[in-house]
Amino acid sequence: MSGPLISVIVPAYNAARFLGEAIESIRAQRWEPLEILVVDDGSTDGTAAVAEGLEGVRLVRKENGGAASARNCGLKEARGEWIAMLDADDLWPADKLAVLAPRLLADEGLDVVTGRIQYVRMDGAEWQEYRFENEENTVSHIHLGAALYRKRAFERIGGFDESLRVGDDQDWWLRAREAGLRILILEEITLHYRLHGTNMTRGATAESLELIEVVRKSLQRRRAMGGKAAELPGWSSFEERRKSDG
Protein backbone atom coordinates (compact mmCIF):
# COMPACT_ATOMS: atom_id res chain seq x y z
CA MET A 1 0.00 0.00 0.00
CA SER A 2 1.09 3.56 -0.56
CA GLY A 3 -0.06 7.05 0.34
CA PRO A 4 1.18 9.99 2.42
CA LEU A 5 4.53 9.72 4.17
CA ILE A 6 4.07 8.26 7.66
CA SER A 7 6.63 9.30 10.27
CA VAL A 8 6.94 6.76 13.07
CA ILE A 9 8.33 8.19 16.31
CA VAL A 10 10.01 5.70 18.67
CA PRO A 11 11.06 7.26 22.00
CA ALA A 12 13.76 5.10 23.53
CA TYR A 13 15.45 5.16 26.90
CA ASN A 14 17.75 2.26 27.80
CA ALA A 15 15.80 0.14 25.34
CA ALA A 16 18.63 -1.77 23.66
CA ARG A 17 17.02 -5.07 24.72
CA PHE A 18 13.78 -4.39 22.85
CA LEU A 19 14.50 -1.85 20.13
CA GLY A 20 15.44 -4.23 17.32
CA GLU A 21 12.17 -6.14 17.53
CA ALA A 22 10.13 -2.93 17.71
CA ILE A 23 11.77 -1.57 14.54
CA GLU A 24 11.33 -4.90 12.78
CA SER A 25 7.59 -4.75 13.49
CA ILE A 26 7.47 -1.28 11.90
CA ARG A 27 9.44 -2.28 8.83
CA ALA A 28 7.12 -5.27 8.35
CA GLN A 29 4.23 -2.92 7.56
CA ARG A 30 2.93 -2.95 3.99
CA TRP A 31 3.15 0.81 3.52
CA GLU A 32 5.26 3.20 1.48
CA PRO A 33 6.72 5.71 2.16
CA LEU A 34 7.69 5.24 5.80
CA GLU A 35 10.06 7.26 7.98
CA ILE A 36 11.33 5.75 11.25
CA LEU A 37 12.68 8.14 13.88
CA VAL A 38 14.31 6.70 17.00
CA VAL A 39 14.68 9.42 19.64
CA ASP A 40 17.34 8.32 22.12
CA ASP A 41 16.42 10.08 25.35
CA GLY A 42 19.88 10.12 26.90
CA SER A 43 20.21 6.34 27.23
CA THR A 44 23.14 4.91 29.18
CA ASP A 45 23.04 1.46 27.60
CA GLY A 46 23.57 0.50 23.95
CA THR A 47 20.32 1.97 22.61
CA ALA A 48 22.01 4.43 20.24
CA ALA A 49 24.39 1.77 18.90
CA VAL A 50 21.47 -0.59 18.23
CA ALA A 51 19.57 2.15 16.41
CA GLU A 52 22.59 3.04 14.28
CA GLY A 53 22.85 -0.56 13.18
CA LEU A 54 19.24 -0.82 12.01
CA GLU A 55 18.37 -0.28 8.37
CA GLY A 56 16.00 2.54 7.51
CA VAL A 57 16.25 4.27 10.91
CA ARG A 58 17.08 7.92 11.55
CA LEU A 59 18.57 8.35 15.03
CA VAL A 60 17.97 11.56 16.96
CA ARG A 61 19.94 12.00 20.18
CA LYS A 62 18.93 14.23 23.07
CA GLU A 63 19.62 14.70 26.76
CA ASN A 64 17.35 12.76 29.07
CA GLY A 65 14.09 14.59 29.59
CA GLY A 66 11.40 11.93 29.68
CA ALA A 67 9.03 10.35 27.20
CA ALA A 68 7.06 13.56 26.55
CA SER A 69 10.16 15.51 25.55
CA ALA A 70 11.34 12.62 23.36
CA ARG A 71 8.00 12.53 21.56
CA ASN A 72 8.02 16.30 21.09
CA CYS A 73 11.53 16.07 19.67
CA GLY A 74 10.30 13.43 17.25
CA LEU A 75 7.37 15.60 16.20
CA LYS A 76 9.76 18.46 15.36
CA GLU A 77 11.92 16.14 13.25
CA ALA A 78 9.02 14.33 11.52
CA ARG A 79 8.54 15.06 7.83
CA GLY A 80 5.39 13.01 7.35
CA GLU A 81 1.84 14.20 6.77
CA TRP A 82 0.74 11.38 9.07
CA ILE A 83 2.26 10.43 12.43
CA ALA A 84 2.48 7.11 14.25
CA MET A 85 4.22 6.17 17.48
CA LEU A 86 5.61 3.05 19.10
CA ASP A 87 7.22 2.67 22.51
CA ALA A 88 10.51 0.83 22.13
CA ASP A 89 9.37 -2.15 24.20
CA ASP A 90 6.11 -2.77 22.29
CA LEU A 91 5.28 -4.20 18.86
CA TRP A 92 2.94 -3.49 15.98
CA PRO A 93 0.86 -6.27 14.43
CA ALA A 94 1.93 -6.88 10.82
CA ASP A 95 -1.30 -5.38 9.47
CA LYS A 96 -1.51 -2.30 11.71
CA LEU A 97 -1.09 0.30 8.99
CA ALA A 98 -3.06 -1.76 6.48
CA VAL A 99 -6.00 -1.56 8.93
CA LEU A 100 -5.70 2.10 9.96
CA ALA A 101 -4.38 3.96 6.93
CA PRO A 102 -7.36 3.25 4.61
CA ARG A 103 -9.64 4.93 7.16
CA LEU A 104 -7.70 8.19 7.00
CA LEU A 105 -7.56 7.96 3.22
CA ALA A 106 -11.31 7.46 3.02
CA ASP A 107 -12.31 10.25 5.41
CA GLU A 108 -10.44 13.55 5.20
CA GLY A 109 -12.30 14.82 8.27
CA LEU A 110 -10.96 12.05 10.52
CA ASP A 111 -8.07 13.20 12.74
CA VAL A 112 -7.10 10.02 14.56
CA VAL A 113 -7.91 6.35 14.05
CA THR A 114 -6.95 3.68 16.57
CA GLY A 115 -7.69 0.09 17.54
CA ARG A 116 -7.45 -2.42 20.34
CA ILE A 117 -4.42 -3.13 22.51
CA GLN A 118 -3.45 -6.74 23.06
CA TYR A 119 -1.44 -7.51 26.19
CA VAL A 120 1.36 -10.02 25.69
CA ARG A 121 3.22 -11.54 28.63
CA MET A 122 6.92 -12.11 28.07
CA ASP A 123 8.92 -14.75 29.95
CA GLY A 124 9.31 -13.83 33.60
CA ALA A 125 6.51 -11.26 33.63
CA GLU A 126 3.34 -11.58 35.69
CA TRP A 127 -0.24 -10.74 34.79
CA GLN A 128 -1.70 -7.84 36.70
CA GLU A 129 -5.37 -7.36 37.46
CA TYR A 130 -6.45 -6.29 33.98
CA ARG A 131 -10.05 -6.43 32.81
CA PHE A 132 -9.76 -7.80 29.32
CA GLU A 133 -12.53 -7.72 26.73
CA ASN A 134 -12.04 -11.30 25.59
CA GLU A 135 -9.75 -14.33 25.59
CA GLU A 136 -7.33 -12.52 23.29
CA ASN A 137 -6.38 -10.28 26.25
CA THR A 138 -7.45 -7.11 24.47
CA VAL A 139 -8.64 -3.79 25.84
CA SER A 140 -9.89 -0.57 24.32
CA HIS A 141 -8.24 2.39 25.98
CA ILE A 142 -5.87 5.19 25.14
CA HIS A 143 -2.41 4.23 23.95
CA LEU A 144 -0.32 6.37 21.66
CA GLY A 145 1.20 3.36 19.92
CA ALA A 146 -2.13 1.92 18.81
CA ALA A 147 -3.16 4.91 16.69
CA LEU A 148 -2.45 6.71 13.42
CA TYR A 149 -2.68 10.51 13.45
CA ARG A 150 -2.85 13.30 10.94
CA LYS A 151 -0.05 15.74 11.72
CA ARG A 152 -2.63 18.51 11.86
CA ALA A 153 -3.94 16.98 15.11
CA PHE A 154 -0.69 17.93 16.84
CA GLU A 155 -0.58 21.29 15.07
CA ARG A 156 -4.05 22.00 16.43
CA ILE A 157 -3.71 20.96 20.07
CA GLY A 158 0.05 20.87 20.53
CA GLY A 159 2.48 18.18 21.58
CA PHE A 160 3.04 16.54 24.94
CA ASP A 161 3.22 18.19 28.36
CA GLU A 162 6.85 17.81 29.40
CA SER A 163 6.04 18.60 33.03
CA LEU A 164 4.39 15.16 33.18
CA ARG A 165 6.87 12.29 33.39
CA VAL A 166 4.28 9.53 32.99
CA GLY A 167 0.79 10.90 32.32
CA ASP A 168 1.60 12.87 29.16
CA ASP A 169 -0.29 10.37 26.99
CA GLN A 170 -3.44 10.62 29.12
CA ASP A 171 -3.15 14.40 29.02
CA TRP A 172 -2.82 14.49 25.21
CA TRP A 173 -5.89 12.32 24.65
CA LEU A 174 -7.92 14.49 27.04
CA ARG A 175 -6.90 17.61 25.13
CA ALA A 176 -7.83 15.89 21.88
CA ARG A 177 -11.32 15.22 23.21
CA GLU A 178 -11.64 18.73 24.63
CA ALA A 179 -10.75 20.17 21.21
CA GLY A 180 -13.31 17.99 19.47
CA LEU A 181 -10.89 16.04 17.32
CA ARG A 182 -12.60 13.37 15.26
CA ILE A 183 -11.48 10.01 16.63
CA LEU A 184 -12.42 6.53 15.46
CA ILE A 185 -11.79 3.32 17.42
CA LEU A 186 -11.78 0.06 15.44
CA GLU A 187 -12.22 -3.44 16.78
CA GLU A 188 -8.99 -4.73 15.22
CA ILE A 189 -5.83 -5.14 17.30
CA THR A 190 -3.30 -2.43 16.41
CA LEU A 191 -0.76 -2.75 19.22
CA HIS A 192 0.93 -5.55 21.14
CA TYR A 193 1.69 -4.19 24.62
CA ARG A 194 4.44 -6.35 26.06
CA LEU A 195 4.57 -7.08 29.78
CA HIS A 196 8.19 -7.69 30.75
CA GLY A 197 8.41 -6.96 34.46
CA THR A 198 10.00 -3.52 34.12
CA ASN A 199 7.16 -1.59 32.47
CA MET A 200 6.89 1.98 33.77
CA THR A 201 3.25 1.48 34.77
CA ARG A 202 3.78 -1.82 36.58
CA GLY A 203 2.16 -1.66 40.02
CA ALA A 204 1.49 2.04 39.58
CA THR A 205 -1.18 4.00 41.41
CA ALA A 206 -3.32 6.82 40.03
CA GLU A 207 -1.07 9.26 41.88
CA SER A 208 2.17 7.81 40.52
CA LEU A 209 0.70 7.82 37.01
CA GLU A 210 -0.10 11.53 37.51
CA LEU A 211 -3.75 10.89 36.65
CA ILE A 212 -4.99 13.21 39.39
CA GLU A 213 -2.89 16.06 38.02
CA VAL A 214 -3.93 15.27 34.44
CA VAL A 215 -7.62 15.34 35.31
CA ARG A 216 -7.17 18.54 37.36
CA LYS A 217 -5.59 20.28 34.39
CA SER A 218 -8.39 19.12 32.11
CA LEU A 219 -11.04 20.46 34.49
CA GLN A 220 -9.25 23.81 34.70
CA ARG A 221 -9.10 24.13 30.92
CA ARG A 222 -12.76 23.30 30.50
CA ARG A 223 -13.87 25.66 33.28
CA ALA A 224 -11.81 28.46 31.74
CA MET A 225 -13.86 28.11 28.57
CA GLY A 226 -17.28 28.42 30.15
CA GLY A 227 -17.24 28.66 33.93
CA LYS A 228 -18.33 25.05 34.40
CA ALA A 229 -16.39 22.02 33.27
CA ALA A 230 -18.20 20.60 30.24
CA GLU A 231 -18.52 16.84 30.10
CA LEU A 232 -16.37 15.07 27.54
CA PRO A 233 -17.68 12.33 25.26
CA GLY A 234 -17.00 8.87 26.68
CA TRP A 235 -14.20 6.82 25.14
CA SER A 236 -16.68 4.18 23.95
CA SER A 237 -18.57 6.83 21.97
CA PHE A 238 -15.73 6.83 19.42
CA GLU A 239 -15.98 3.09 18.78
CA GLU A 240 -17.05 1.86 15.39
CA ARG A 241 -20.11 -0.35 15.60
CA ARG A 242 -18.96 -3.93 15.83
CA LYS A 243 -19.76 -6.32 13.00
CA SER A 244 -21.44 -8.67 15.45
CA ASP A 245 -23.98 -5.95 16.20
CA GLY A 246 -25.48 -6.42 12.75
Report if residue 63 sits inside a domain: yes
Q: What is the mean pLDDT of residues 28-36?
A: 96
Helix (H, G, I), strand (E, B) or coil at 108: coil
Report if residue 132 sits inside a domain: yes
- Ramachandran bin of 235, using left for φ above 0, alpha for ψ from -120 to 50, beta for the remaining angles: alpha
Q: Assess whether pLDDT exceeds 50 at residue 202.
A: no
Report if residue 193 sits inside a domain: yes
Report if residue 85 sits inside a domain: yes
Domain count, the chain: 1
pLDDT of residue 203: 46
Q: Assess whether pLDDT exceeds 60 at residue 207.
A: no
Tens of pLDDT, residues 88-143: 999 999 999 999 999 999 999 999 999 999 999 876 656 666 677 777 878 888 89
Residues linked to residue 239 through DSSP beta bridges, in sequence order:
185
Kindly state the percentage of the chain with pLDDT values over 90. Answer: 70
Report if residue 71 sits inside a domain: yes
Please state, rounded to an integer, the average pLDDT across all residues of the chain: 90
pLDDT of residue 51: 98
Residue 123's domain comprises 2-226
The two counts, helices (H) then strands (E), for the chain are 7, 8
Q: CA angle, corner 1, sides to 237 and 241, nearest 5?
A: 20
pLDDT of residue 130: 67
- Give the list of residues 6+ apart from residue 138 with CB closer than 8 angstroms, or none: 116, 117, 118, 119, 132, 189
CATH of the domain at 104: 3.90.550.10
Lowest mean pLDDT among 115-119, 149-153, 185-189, 239-243: 239-243
Under 8 Å between Cβ of 177 and 232:
yes
Report if residue 141 sits inside a domain: yes
Q: CA angle, corner 192, sides to 114 and 160, nearest 5?
A: 55
Report if residue 244 sits inside a domain: no
Q: Assess whether pLDDT exceeds 50 at residue 246.
A: no
Predicted TM-score (pTM) of the model is 0.90
Report if residue 233 sits inside a domain: no
